[in-house]
Every structure is written in C-alpha cells, then in structure tokens.
Amino acid sequence: MAKYEQQRNFLKSNFLEFKHIKTDKLKGLPQPPIVKSFNSTSLIIDLPKISRDVVSKENIYECINDRRSTRFYSDESLSLDELSYLLWATQGITSMTKNGCTLRTVPCSGATHTFETYLFIMRVEGLQQGIYRYLPVEHKLVFMFELDKIDQKIDAITLDQPFVPNFVKKASVMFAWSTTPYRSEWKYDISAHKKILIDVGHVSQNLYLTSESIGAGACAIGIYDQKLIDDILELDGDEEFIIFMSAVGKKRE
C-alpha cells in the first residue's frame, strides 16, 4: 500500500543510490570512540573469567530447537559467572584490528558496534540491585546508581503491558541496549540505520541462545517508553538512546 512505501524502501538495500554520498570517513573526519568512556572513580566490578563450566546444554542444535521467549522464571538468581558469560556472548571483544576496530562475539556491519549494554540488575548473586553498564574492553561492570522501586520503574518503562510485569518482576536482569548511531553513520551515512537494526538482532539472538545453554530464558521487549528509559539511564535521546531490551531469568519447571 502507498502509505507504507517509504518504510518499505527503508528495508531494501538501495545501496547503489548511496554511491554518490561522501561519508564522514571518506571526508577524513576522525572516527568516533569505539566505546563509551566511564568515570575511573566509579565502582568497577570485575567479572569472572569466561568459563564453559556454566554451560549445561552444549548441543547447539538443542539450543536452537528449544529456544523460546521465556516469560515464566523461577526464584533462582543468576550467578555472576553466568552474567559474565551472557555479557561476553552478546558484546564481548575477541580481538582488535590494527586500526582499533573491535571484533566481537556478534557480527556487525563494518565492525562499527554502535551498542552499549545497560543492566537493570534485580537478582544476580554478589550484585546489589541497581543500574550497571558493561565495559567490553575491560570485561567489567561499572555501577551507575541504585534505582528505587526498580520493578515499578520497569513496569512504567514497558508501558504497563498486561503480561510484562508478571515476568519482569521475576527476571534476574533486564538488558537494555543503547545505540550511538554516529559510530555507523561515520562510515555508512544514511544507510547506517538499517544496519544498526540488523545488528541488534544478532545481539538479541545470541542472548536467547546462550540463555538457553545455561538453563535460563530470555524475552525480548520492543515496546517501551523511549523518553522514560533514556531519562532513567541519563542518555540524551539523540546521540545515544535505547533501541532494544530483553529480560533474562532462570527457567521455571
């Protein structure tokens, strides 16, 4: 239908139409930082070294076959080892190129990796409730702040959808991925935005499969109050904003 034409064009490649565009990279402008900086005086939490010992289901076929959006969780907390594994699997850095690009556990257009991982921690062993951010270069967490009535805040963020409070309140952690679009725009200009949406899908699927491999479950959340969550996480909503979320918790029998 005609009213959907513009949105459908966004889904198409149309790459030849962009050939005349001179990107900021081609203009010689400096590449934006590959990760967000942090205050070195903040509370930094060392994450355990990645170990396959946390994996209870190693068969990738079974993980793919059994993967479902999980909305019912047990009272069991995630361990810090398990959280470390999930963070590594979704944004962990495996190597760096000579020009400073990071190669990670998820594919990404041009290794631009526009995402930052924020965590609403509810029940993870050894961590107090509150808001954290993952530091992929260091493989550590930075504690940002406590959040009073964290479950009520999540209810408000997810627009009080009828089914959401029932599983989010039992979840151990909620992942909230922000994007800093200019990391990709610098290289791809106006074609960056489709790539960003594809890339966050890779991240979410890795979370689903690795959650399944440790006896946990994930449920992606795509409906949320954009301004509220950006404000809570102290993001400007323009140069950086939340693009996707997912709850994770141990499965209930």
Quick one: pLDDT band at residue 104, thresholds 50, 70, 90?
A: very high
Q: Report pLDDT digits (tens) over 179-209.
A: 999 999 999 999 999 999 999 999 999 999 9
Alpha helices in 121-249 (DSSP H): 150-157, 164-168, 182-188, 192-213, 226-232
Q: Report pLDDT digits (tens) over 36-65.
A: 999 989 999 999 999 999 999 999 999 999
Higher-confidence position of 218 and 1: 218
Q: Which amino acid is at 171?
A: A
Sign, CA dihedral 235-236-237-243, equals negative
Cα–Cα dist 210/154, whole Å: 23
Q: Which amino acid is at 188?
A: Y
In this predicted structure, the answer to whether residue 162 has a pLDDT above a threshold of 70 is no
In this predicted structure, the answer to whether residue 118 has a pLDDT above a threshold of 70 is yes
In this predicted structure, the answer to whether residue 23 has a pLDDT above a threshold of 90 is yes
Q: Work out the average pLDDT over 32-36.
A: 94
Q: Work out the average pLDDT over 104-119.
A: 96
Q: Work out the average pLDDT over 114-128.
A: 97
Strand, helix or coil for residue 56: coil
Q: With beta carbons less than 8 A apart as the criterion, state whether 243 and 178 touch.
A: yes
In this predicted structure, the answer to whether residue 165 has a pLDDT above a threshold of 60 is no
Computed over every residue of the chain, the mean pLDDT equals 93
User: Which pLDDT belongs to residue 164?
Assistant: 66
Quick one: pLDDT band at residue 94, thresholds 50, 70, 90?
A: very high
User: Which pLDDT belongs to residue 38?
Assistant: 94
The residue written with tokens 């900021």 in the block is 24
